[in-house]
Amino acid sequence: MQDAFERYAMEVSPTKRGERWEIIRLNKLGRTDLAKIQLSELRTHHVNLWIEEQLKTLKASSINRELNLIASVIEKARKHWKWIATNPIRDADRPKNPTPRDRRISEEEIKRILQSLGYEGRSNVATQRQFIAVAFLFALETAMRQGEIWGMEWDYVHLEQRYVTLPNTKNGTKRDVPLSSEAVLLLKALRPKKQGKVFPYSQQSSGVIFRRSLRLAGIEGLTFHDTRHEALTKLAKKLSMLDLARMVGHNDPRSLMIYYNATASEIAKLLS
C-alpha cells in the first residue's frame, strides 16, 4: 500500500485544490500498519482491523474521510495502474457517522460574540478582531464557508450588482453568491479596494481569535462553521430550495437537509 500512497501523492494529489492537506494525510497513512501490506494481498479483513484500531483514537467521521481517500487510492490502482483486481474498501464495515450538528446561534449569543470582539458597528472597523466580527456577520448573511470568506478578493466583489464571485470553491467550480443589503453594507464597511484580500488577516490566526472570543463571551459548543447552519435555516424561508442550493454550492438540494435546522415552532409560524 505504501507505494500506492506515494504514487497517488505524486501523480494525483497535485491536480486537486486540497493538494497540501491530502499529501499530509497520505504521508500519515503511509506510516500505518495498513501501508505495510502488499496491495495485491490487501483484503477487507485487513481494512476492518485498521478501522477497529482507529476507533480507539478517532471519531467515526474522521475514519470515514480517511477510508474515502484510501478507496480513491485503491480505485486508481485498480483502474489505471492495474495493481489490484478488486477494491476491498467496498465491503469494509464502515463506522456510522454521528448525527449532523444542529447547533443554532441565538441573537443573544451573536450580541455577546460581537462585544467580545470589540465590534461597535459598521462605522468603526479597524482592528483584526473587528474584521473577524464582520466576517462572522457576513457568514450569517451569506452561508459562505469560512475558507471561502477568507479567500475572497476585491477583484471578484461586485457591490453594485450585489454578488461575489468565488472562482474556486470546495466543489472545484466557480460560484456567484448573491448578497443581501446587509451583506453589501458589511463589505462597504471594510473600505473596498481595487484588489487584494477582502479580509487581509490570516484565516488561522483569525480562527484562534474567534475561538478565544467565544470563551470570553462564555459561549460553549459553537464553531464558526455553525454560521452556515444558521444562515441556511434563515435563507430557506426566503428562497426556493433550488435557488438556495445554487447560492450555497450544493449540487443536490437534498444535501441541504444536513444544514437546515428550523425548530418546530419556526415551521409552525409559516403555517396558516
Active site residues: 145, 170, 225, 228, 250, 259
Q: Kindly report the three-state secondary structure assignment for every residue of the chain.
A: CHHHHHHHHHHCHHHCCCHHHHHHHHHHHCCCHHHHCCHHHCCHHHHHHHHHHHCCCCCHHHHHHHHHHHHHHHHHHHHCCCCCCCCHHHHCCCCCCCCCCCCCCCHHHHHHHHHHCCCCCCCCCCCHHHHHHHHHHHHHHHCCCHHHHHCCEHHHEECCCCEEEECCCCCCCCEEEECCHHHHHHHHCCCCCCCCECCCCCHHHHHHHHHHHHHHCCCCCCCCCHHHHHHHHHHCCCCCHHHHHHHHCCCCHHHHHHCCCCCHHHHHHCCC
Return d(Cα 23, Cα 5) in angstroms, integer.
9
**Which three cell numbers mark 131?**
474584521
Residue with the three cell numbers 463571551: 217
Select from 39, 69, 67, 42 the least CA-distant residue to 53: 67
